[in-house]
Structure 1
């Protein structure tokens, strides 16, 4: 059966049908398990991180988010990437007052 026909029967696009059902049973099971692991991760951003988020720093300084990244790359602002135990990473900015 073609991916077009399979997708049509399942109510999916051919690309979505191929992504869902292509490969061996073990490969399909591994993709589904990886999806379950991703969906089990906390989705809320932690509020107890040091410094400011890039968006918060931009608002505080009255500039765009892109301007914050530019200032960090030029060394005009201190920033760190904080990695949580679950693998999530956040850029934190430490503007001098």
Structure 2
């Protein structure tokens, strides 16, 4: 499996559709091969692993609430729980185990 840019693929396919509508000699099978070629010609997207974590409330200090990132263990004072850790970039979307 490889990741591709779907927007680029759709852009290429859209151009092919326009061409096929103008050229009546292109049949359905030929069009399918052209779509396949367009997908194969798309560059592979480099996608790194997404770090995930959860803010853990650790208490309060003189400035307010303190939370800790479950991924990098950064402790930070927050007025509200942000969607990402400013230190490691982890997406804060892990759920509590039941």
When normalised by structure 2's length, the TM-score is 0.21
Bigger radius of gyration: 2
Larger RCO (CA within 8 A; separation ≥ 6): 2
Higher helix share: 1
